[in-house]
Amino acid sequence: MRVVITGGGTGGHTSAGLAVAAALGRHGVECAWIGSRTGIEARRVPEAGLPYHAIPTGKLRRYWDWQNFPDLLLRVPAGLVQARRLLRQVGPNLLFATGGFVALPAVMAARGLGIPIVVHEQTSSPGLANRIAGRVAQRIALTFPQSGTEFPPDKVVVTGNPLRPELAGGSREAGIARLGLDPALPVIYVTGGAQGSQRINRTVGAILAPLLEVSQVIHQCGDNPETADRHWLEEHATSLPPQLRSRYHLIAYVGSELRDVYAVVSLVVGRAGAGTVNECCQLGLPALYIPLPGTRGDEQTANARLVQAAGGAMLFPQVALTPRGLLQGIRGLLADPPRLKAMGEQARSLAVPDAAERIVALIVEVASP
């Protein structure tokens, strides 16, 4: 059996596909990936050892932008032609789409070639790409039960969102040793996603001194040359007293060490994208979410609210984000360890531990004649 995975653009779309690819591999299923040339999947999929095929992609913008014209007239048609050729060459039994605009050319090509399609939606508020793909898919795997009518009910299966295997089995001892952490002090992991978040980076930077008086901070800041956040944070950290400076660990991108970082953290502070939320829930980590505003359907806020309603997170809207408010929120959580423990347990209650196997079973069912 052979499956082609398509999707990307964000960590959530990519992580879900990699987790399913690993599970399919354990069942002897061959996998390949069709993605973009520059998205996060273009780096992470080859790192995982999967055959990767890059195609031209456009972007689904529902607002005026001059790039809409070359995308619709050039990139999308070229991507569709290349996806069709690749699918003919690979000859998959099924196409598994995880979302993002990069998935649509492959989905439409698969439909034209009569290849069965399974779509996976990671968020509680489906994105436009998956809502389009869902119209031609045989089945749609959901992370959370559907609350609206975005997908036909007879196509929907609730499978949960799988955790990529390299994040399981983290070691607290390894995390402490890797970064030289003090095991007696709580650890905060700050992340704005792979590219970082300027709003989060600058707000955390403004409260470093009082934050480091009560905790250690592992700060994944990205390395965006336009915002220069990494350089700004490095300079800001040099003004700290030596004792506090040693508690601050600034990292542009966290790779394979993330599982050990997760094993040692007391609280996660970050965006509420599908990947981060799923990882926190699967690993039972309490979180303070600052959803990215302006996304279609405000999907990050919907993700955060779902976990908050279960008691597993605190929601901090960006419109209300101030250094003083964030400091109070973090210090209030750190001052109450029993609450943090309970939040982690409640977050874990939303996870589906065997999500990858459920999706594999669905793929095998749909692919079987």
As a whole number of angstroms, the distance between CA 278 and CA 288 comes to 14
| Phi and psi torsions of 273, nearest 5° | -65, 165
Chain length of the chain:
369
DSSP 8-class letter at 349: T
Give the tokens for residue 11: 């960590």
Residue 225 exposed, middle or buried by CB count within 10 Å (0-12, 13-18, 19+): exposed
Q: Please give the Cα distance from 173 to 220 (Å, whole number).
A: 20
Dist. CA 318–CA 204, nearest whole Å: 13
d(CA 11, CA 296): 17
Instruction: Give residue for tokens 């040692």.
Output: 264
Give the burial string for 80-89 (b: 16+ CB within 10 Å, else e). Answer: bebbbebbee
Q: Is 114 helix (H, G, I), strand (E, B) or coil?
A: coil
Encoded tokens for 341: 């423990």
For residues 244 and 119, give the distance between their C-alpha atoms in angstroms, rounded to a whole number: 47
The whole model's pTM is what? Answer: 0.88
Beta-carbon contacts of 208 under 8 Å, excluding residues fewer than 6 positions away, are 217, 236, 237, 240, 244, 248
d(CA 287, CA 300): 14
Q: How many CA atoms lie within 13 A of 189 on its CB side?
A: 25
* Domains, in order of start, for the chain: 2-162+352-367 (3.40.50.2000), 167-348 (3.40.50.2000)
Tell me the pLDDT of the chain (369 aa) as tens digits: 999 999 998 888 999 999 999 999 999 999 999 999 888 999 999 999 999 999 987 555 444 454 544 555 456 778 899 999 999 999 999 999 999 888 999 999 999 999 999 999 998 888 888 999 999 999 999 998 876 678 999 999 999 999 988 898 999 999 999 999 999 999 999 999 878 899 999 999 999 999 999 999 999 999 999 999 999 999 999 999 999 999 999 999 998 899 999 999 999 999 999 999 999 999 999 999 999 987 666 889 999 999 999 999 999 999 999 999 999 999 999 999 999 999 999 999 999 999 999 999 999 999 987
Q: How many CB atoms lie within 10 A of CB 250?
A: 18
The two tokens of residue 85 are 């050729």
- What does the alpha-carbon distance between residue 169 and residue 326 come to, in Å, rounded to a whole number? 31
How far is residue 290's CA from residue 293's CA, in Å, rounded to a whole number?
A: 9
Q: What is the largest CA-CA distance in the chain?
A: 67
Q: Is residue 19 a contact partner of residue 165, using CB atoms and an 8 Å limit?
A: yes
| R_g over Cα of the chain | 21
Nearest Cα to Cα of residue 301 among 125, 60, 71 = 125
